[in-house]
Amino acid sequence: MNNDHSLAVFEDYPIRRVYDEDTGTWYFSVVDIIQVLIQQPDYQTARKYWNKLKERLKKEGRQSVTNCHQLKMTAHDGKQRLTDNEFIRGCEYQQSEDMNKDDH
C-alpha cells in the first residue's frame, strides 16, 4: 500500500489518518474521532470508551455501524500499533460535499 500518514486537526484534537493513493481512500482513527465526539482530553479514556462500546455491542449480538479496518498507526507513545480505522474514498467524499451544496 502506497500511503501518506498525516494528522488532521479538528477542534484542537489531532486525528490520525492514512491516505492510500492506490485506492484514493482516507483511513481515520476511530478512537481519535470518538475523542473529539465525547470531548475527552485523555486519549486512554477515549480508547477505553471505544473498547467498552464494541464489547457491549458484541454481547448484545450487534456490531458497530462501521466496518472498521485495523491499520498500523503511530500511537501516542510513538510506537506503531494496530488501530481501528474507518475509511472514506475521495469520490464518496466529493459526492457528499456536492449533496451538501445542493441543500443550501
Position 100 confidence tier, pLDDT thresholds 50, 70, 90: very low
Average pLDDT, the chain: 78
Selection from 57, 32, 26, 61 nearest residue 45 by Cα: 32
Q: How far apart are the first and last CA of the chain?
A: 38
Domain ranges of the chain: 3-103
What tens digit of pLDDT does each residue of 3-38 get?
A: 556 777 888 888 999 888 888 888 899 999 999 999
Task: Tell me, yes or no, if the pTM score tops 0.85.
Answer: no
The Cα 70–Cα 54 span in angstroms is 14
- pLDDT at residue 49 tops 90: yes
